[in-house]
Each structure stands twice: as C-alpha cells, then as structure tokens.
Amino acid sequence: MKTQVGIIGGGPSGLLLSQLLHLQGIDSVVLERQSREYVLGRIRAGVLEHGFAKLMREARCGERMDREGEIHHGFFIAHDGIRQRIDLHALTGGNSVIVYGQTELTRDLYAARDAAGGQVIHNAEDVKPHAIDSRQPYLTYRRGDDIVRVDCDFIIGCDGFHGVSRKAIPKDKLTEFERVYPFGWLGVLSRTRPVSPELIYATHPRGFALCSLRSQVLSRYYIQVPLADSVEQWSDELFWDELKRRLPDDVAAQLMTGASIEKSIAPLRSYVCEPMRWGSLFLAGDAAHIVPPTGARGLNSAASDVYYLYHALVDHYHHGDDRGLDEYSAKALARVWKGQRFSWWMTTLLHRFPDSSAFERRLQDTDLAYLFSSRQAQASLAENYVGLPF
C-alpha cells in the first residue's frame, strides 16, 4: 500500500488531520489499533476552544457541533460558598467555548472520513513505524497472519500516550518533562438535568469538584479523590453526597441525582516530550503531551498540533516549502507549554494537595481572592480558557 501521509491512531487528532489533508487533495491512511466501537465508547471531556471549532468547520465537520453543541459565554468558580462568574465573552472581546463531547466530535470525524472514502483501518495490530530517519519511511501492521506494509512520505504519531510512535524516537534524543499529581478525578455521567447552565469549578477543603454537562439531559460531574481509591469504593450515593458537600449550598440544593451510566477514575498528570519531530516522524496530541483536565486543554492542544502540521504539510505538497515542517516542533511546543502552564495553574489553584503547608494553602486562598477581585486576573484566565491564538 502507498500513501502520502501515514497516520498512527484514529482518535480526534489522527482523524482531523486526515480529513483536513483530504480536503487539500493530500492522501493519508489511518491505522487504528482498536475497533471503531471501542474508540467511540471512551468517555472524554468536551470543551472546545473557538479556534478548534473553526478548524472543525474548515474540515467540514462542524455542522452537528454547531447544531447540538452549546456555546458557553462563561463559567463559575466556587470557593467558600461564593460563586464567581468568569465572563469569557466580555473578558475576551467576544470569544467563547463550545461544550460538545469528544465522543460526538470523533463520531463526526469518522462520518466525514467515511463520506469521503477515507482509509481508516481498524483493528490494525502491531503497528510499527520504520525508517523514520530516512525520507522513505513506512508503516507495517499485522492483519491476521499477514504483515501489511504502508509506504509513505511522512509518519504522524497520533496514537496517544500509550502508543508506539513516541517510543520509536531514540531515548537519548528525547527529553521528557513530567508532573504526576497526588490525586485523581472520579467522574460520573448521569441522565439528569445539569445543575447549572454553565460549568462550575469548585474548590473546597474536602477537595475539588466540577459540574459539567453533555446536554440539557446528560450531566458530567467530577470530584477529586485520592489516587489509591477505586471505583468500587464509590457507590453512586456516596458520590452524590460528597459532591454536594463540596458545592455552595444553593447549588447543592438544586442538584438532581440519578444512577451513573459511566463512572471512572482518571489520574492527573502533566507530561511533555521534546522534540515533537524525529526525521520523518511527527508527534501530535497525547502522543507528545498530556495535561490534567482542569484547564480543559487536552483536546484543544491536540487540535493546535494538527493545525500546525496540516499547514506545514500543505506547504510541502502544494508549494515545495518545508519551513513549516522544520519549524513544527518548536511552534507546536510553544503553544503546548502555554497550555501546560494554564492547566498546572488551574490544578494548583483548585485542588487540595495532601502535603500542602499552611503557607501554601494561604497562598491558594489569596490567589482565589485576587482572581475574584481582579478583572485583569479574570481576563488572563479567560483568554487562556477560550484558547490562545494558533
């Protein structure tokens, strides 16, 4: 098999890149290890920057997002029983975010690839990149007893944190940066009316909590839990009780509870690997960087990688200009680190660290008091939340 761009991973990064390239007449093949049902069965976040939404429209995949997604002009931070609204729209000169589940977004991308006859190969076992330090790289994967070879000009690693692509870069050529947080997020999805039309990020001596949504009949809630906890320890009843304790009384009184249809614990980690290119291999999304979900940057950082790669590949194929490819790693990392800083700051601001000193807790409270009292501080938060320019 021969193509121009070989993509490992059929998650949002790989599919969005493949679709954008297709619209520019550039051929690609996506190799996905899992089945489509499995990929679409994963519950992930769903706050889209305005730049990402624009890219989805450019990929001609924005119709359902714009129809079913919710435009949010603000969100709340709750602390000490007070809710402070962060007016994204007013503080950023009219920008906002779209709340639309990553699962639905991925479904739209698959539909667009199918409609265009795109090659997305599922259940591709044992995917391996080869000759990445040459100009004739290729991929192989196993289909039953056969090894299938895909010759290409470039390999894009969109295979997430646990993929093969990052591991193909010689260890001594890679620098890794990591912060693992001493807690996780216990998330629940429930067929209940959301407690608030806008998201509420709550900080409380018992720990962080988040009230989010997927629609007006599907709610998503999270509470901070010790890393050692297991889902089995948390009955629905225990979850709702603990969530209520961490919310302002008036919000807790409004909270509609119900049976969880999904419940899972996600560890919190900040991770970046540099560089994001090695020879003919380029990394994008979770394959190169992970953020704690507090800043809602994960998917959006992946989208900015795709934005830079897409333009660099178009410049290469349409204009024979490789500057974008040569600058990709530096450009993508510059924005990735801003997302890392914002996510780390939001996580540090809103969570209770088991080993924090009295001095650190005072600083945390003061950071919140400053944020609640300063329009400039809120504007800085808002511009990061709606998405910094690409």
Which residues of this chain interact with ligand APR, rule CB under 6 A? 8-14, 31-34, 39, 44-45, 102, 124, 127, 158-160, 162-164, 285-286, 298-299, 302
Which residue, among 2, 7, 339, 27, has the nearest Cα to 159 in the 3D structure? Answer: 7
* Contacting residue, 61, 211, 296, 313, with ligand PHB by CB under 6 A: 296
Which residue, among 72, 371, 368, 83, has the nearest Cα to 250 in the 3D structure? Answer: 83
Least separation in angstroms between CB 260 and ligand APR: 21
Question: Helices (DSSP H) in the chain: which residue ranges?
Answer: 12-23, 36-41, 50-58, 63-68, 88-91, 102-115, 236-246, 249-254, 298-319, 323-350, 358-373, 375-386
CA atoms of 182 and 161, how far apart (whole Å): 19
Q: How far is CA 197 from CA 107, 121, 192, 221, 222, in A?
A: 25, 39, 13, 13, 16
Stretch that binds ligand PHB, among 43-51, 111-119, 267-275, 373-381 (CB under 6 A): 43-51
* Long-range contacts (CB closer than 8 Å, 24 or more residues apart) made by 138-146: 138/6, 139/6, 139/8, 139/29, 139/31, 141/31
Least separation in angstroms between CB 385 and ligand PHB: 9
Least separation in angstroms between CB 310 and ligand APR: 14
CA atoms of 383 and 89, how far apart (whole Å): 10
* Contacting residue, 294, 329, 340, 378, with ligand PHB by CB under 6 A: 294
Q: Is 316 in the site for ligand PHB (CB under 6 A)?
A: no
8 Å CB contact between 346 and 294? yes
Nearer to ligand PHB, 72 or 316 (CB): 72
Q: Is 382 in the site for ligand PHB (CB under 6 A)?
A: no
- Give the number of residues in contact with ligand PHB, rule: CB under 6 A: 9
Q: Which 167-206 residues touch ligand PHB, going by CB under 6 A?
A: 199
Q: Residue 17's binding partner, choosing from ligand PHB, ligand APR, none, with beta-carbon cut-off 5 to 8 A by kind? A: none
Q: Is 105 in the site for ligand PHB (CB under 6 A)?
A: no
Give bridge partners of residue 277 from the DSSP assignment: 282
CA atoms of 166 and 63, how far apart (whole Å): 33
Q: Is 33 in the site for ligand PHB (CB under 6 A)?
A: no
Q: Is 386 in the site for ligand PHB (CB under 6 A)?
A: no
Q: Residue 212's binding partner, choosing from ligand PHB, ligand APR, none, with beta-carbon cut-off 5 to 8 A by kind? A: ligand PHB
Q: Residue 9's binding partner, choosing from ligand APR, ligand PHB, none, with beta-carbon cut-off 5 to 8 A by kind? A: ligand APR
Least separation in angstroms between CB 292 and ligand PHB: 9
Q: Is 45 in the site for ligand PHB (CB under 6 A)?
A: yes
CA 266 to chain centre: 13
Q: Is 79 in the site for ligand PHB (CB under 6 A)?
A: no
Which residue, among 296, 214, 301, 231, has the nearest Cα to 266 in the 3D structure? Answer: 231
Residue 154 in tokens: 């470039």
* Strand, helix or coil for residue 229: coil
8 Å CB contact between 166 and 157? yes
Q: Residue 127's binding partner, choosing from ligand PHB, ligand APR, none, with beta-carbon cut-off 5 to 8 A by kind? A: ligand APR
Least separation in angstroms between CB 88 and ligand PHB: 13
Nearer to ligand PHB, 214 or 316 (CB): 214
- Binding residues for ligand PHB (CB under 6 A): 45-47, 199, 212, 220, 293-294, 296
